[in-house]
Structure 1
């Protein structure tokens, strides 16, 4: 059985960039994570190290990572320690203004860079593996980065939720115009989005999934 990572290695994994998975540490520490399959060294300069899918799974299951439990099924946990978290809709409003805008734009640019580094053809217009394993958070980031307003207890807006389908999320919006605008944004961000009707309530919603080609 593979020995669990050391406390120092877990700290490196836990403090990796929340979007790109970029790691910081000494050469010896990073090499040890590579040997464990938790990180990889990017082949292009400056040859930074990033978490592998196994590293991301460890990071998300690490007991050191704590935060509030989502109030709504499918919602991504909000960050309580200053780590960026995309707003999926339904959370408390939280900080707004220029500071939040800079955070969102920075996270989106980091995600585009992650696409360039991890997609086999270096494409930035198509979702990467990280997005496919974090569907709700990835779709919410695309919407918030484009200026869409998430729902909160005081105002209506978009809500992104998990679905029984392993490769799709549901996106709800307050009206038909907002729903169409969300679909346009997701399609520009490399997603496929189609409108559907909820049988019980007759409410319209989007079913969105990352485009593969």
Structure 2
């Protein structure tokens, strides 16, 4: 289990540039944040450090940054347990708090795209998304307001892995909602195509991150 950030680390995260997520601190402090997955070092000079999506979520989570709060640990989103819903999860919560978490995660991902592209563009998926296909697709859909399926069944999207190395399958029983999911992913920089299950005849969307 990941240890909660220290009070000093929390202060560095809270002081990050509100737009770029750029961090200031000693090399040791910044390296510790990188080790916790809260920051990354930009590959190009001057090789500054910036918040990752998890770091952005931590900064947007209210809470005391003093010793007592550090001992108790951060809120769930701050501790890195946030996960976009791929559909079929049990005990999911909804409401303003969840909306804030999703919005913060999406903004953090857009910043990660911007900072890891030579031209600073955010229209194409970044390397993290290519190694976390289900999570990335789920975040794009949830951030756009699509409804994930519940564990007990019913409507809503479900995202699953496929034999293809860089593709996920999006299932949604409602044809209109399935097309809407495809449109959202395409807008988020994914290449999409609608297909039919050979055995069941059910339609699904195959999506993969675009490279150009």
For the superposition of Structure 1 and Structure 2, which TM-score range results when normalised by the shorter chain?
A: 0.5 to 0.7
* SS of residue in 2 equivalent to 1:141: helix
- Give the TM-score taking structure 2 as reference length: 0.68
Q: Does 1:28 align with 2:28?
A: yes
Segments of 5+ residues of structure 1 without an aligned counterpart are 1-7, 52-78
Q: Give the whole-Å Cα distance in 2 for the aligned partners of 1:50 and 1:98.
A: 23
Q: Does 1:171 align with 2:167?
A: no
Q: Does 1:194 align with 2:193?
A: yes
Q: Cα distance 1:111–1:49, how it changes in 2: closer, same or farther (>3 A)?
A: closer
Q: Which structure 1 residue ranges, 4+ long, deviate > 4 Å from structure 2? A: 22-26, 31-34, 41-46
- Residue 161 of structure 2 is matched in structure 1 by 162
* SS of residue in 2 equivalent to 1:132: helix
Q: Cα distance 1:94–1:116, how it changes in 2: closer, same or farther (>3 A)?
A: same
Q: Give the whole-Å Cα distance in 2 for the aligned partners of 1:173 and 1:132.
A: 22
- The number of residues matched between the two structures is 170
How far off its partner does 1:39 sit? 5.1
CA RMSD of aligned residues (A): 3.5
Residues 58-116 of structure 1: per-residue CA shift (max 9 Å, x gap) = xxxxxxxxxxxxxxxxxxxxx8x662110000101411011101111111011000000
Q: Give the whole-Å Cα distance in 2 for the aligned partners of 1:11 and 1:82.
A: 9
- Give the TM-score taking structure 1 as reference length: 0.68
Q: Give the whole-Å Cα distance in 2 for the aligned partners of 1:32 and 1:147.
A: 35
Segments of 5+ residues of structure 2 without an aligned counterpart are 14-21, 53-76
Residues 126-185 of structure 1: per-residue CA shift (max 9 Å, x gap) = 101100110000000000000000001244200001100011000000211011000110
Q: Cα distance 1:25–1:90, how it changes in 2: closer, same or farther (>3 A)?
A: farther
Q: Give the whole-Å Cα distance in 2 for the aligned partners of 1:120 and 1:85.
A: 28
